[in-house]
Amino acid sequence: MNNYIYILTDSNRSCLHVGMTDDLQRAAKTYRELKGLFFDAHPRVSRLVYHETLPGSSEALRRFNELSRYTRMQKERLIRRRNPNWLDLSIAATRTGAMPPILPQRRELPATTNRVQN
């Protein structure tokens, strides 16, 4: 059975929430329908912007703990590598019945120096 690690945000991208589930569509639907699920005074976290599929629950738990310790900047970098426009991935899932694949991680290019050649 597959397990999923995901990151949700609100419409202003002010909050990033890391979660783990075995049914990504159900989790996305729950966040969309319930207001103030975790944060009463916080914006509604309902936009699925990142997800990973992992084969086992132990791997998923390890990755969940790893992402939970990430700083905001690290989470944003992770999201931008695979979903540069921060599109809501759960919208496509409700239309097609399956979660859309996200872009593969891009390799980091080595730093180059800008030299003027004569």
Cβ proximity of 35 and 80 under 8 Å: no
Which domains are delineated in the chain? 3-96 (3.40.1440)
Mean pLDDT for 45-53 is: 91
Mean pLDDT for 30-59 is: 78
Per the listing, tokens 């049914």 go with 23
pLDDT at res. 11: 84
* pTM given for the model: 0.74
Cβ proximity of 9 and 50 under 8 Å: no
Does residue 107 register a pLDDT over 60? no
Distance between CA 35 and CA 9 in Å, rounded? 13
Among 85, 69, 78, residue whose Cα is nearest residue 106: 78
At 78-106, the pLDDT tens digits run 999 999 999 999 886 555 445 555 545 44
Going by C-beta distance under 8 Å and a sequence separation of 6 or more, which residues neighbour residue 31?
8, 37, 45, 46, 48
